[in-house]
Amino acid sequence: MREQEHNLKNLTKCPLCKAKYDHSGAFVLQENNSRTVFHLTCSECQSAVLAFVTESKQGVVSLAVATDLSSKEARVILGKNAIGKDDVLEMYKYLNNK
């Protein structure tokens, strides 16, 4: 939990309206040794972001991406496997055989 609090301190303002975040509404979606993914909703403009915070020897890097996903939807999507080239090829073949 201490690690999560440290990572949240790097996320201070909403990237859209620049209002200061109230971190009580932050949800941790994924976490490992060097990366934490948060879902935050701005109390001012109600926009949501997925925030990726990565720690390395060089320092801390954070990236926030605007989203229309709820924290529950984001958790489901982040838990799925990435689409691979075989998946794309299968879809291509499927669509061209119709």
- Residue 6: the pLDDT is 54
Q: Where are the domains of the chain?
A: 2-96
Q: Residue 68: pLDDT band by 50, 70, 90 thresholds?
A: very high
How many whole angstroms separate alpha carbon 38 and alpha carbon 31?
A: 9
First vs last Cα of the chain: how many Å apart? 52
Under a CB-based contact definition with an 8 Å cutoff, are residues 85 and 67 in contact? no
How confident is the model over 18-67, as pLDDT tens digits?
A: 888 887 778 889 888 888 898 999 888 889 999 888 888 888 888 888 99
Under a CB-based contact definition with an 8 Å cutoff, are residues 74 and 39 in contact? yes
Q: Which helix (H) or strand (E) holds 93?
A: helix 85-96
Under a CB-based contact definition with an 8 Å cutoff, are residues 3 and 36 in contact? yes
Say yes or no to pLDDT of 11 above 70. no
Which DSSP letter does residue 34 get? Answer: S
Q: Residue 1: pLDDT band by 50, 70, 90 thresholds?
A: very low
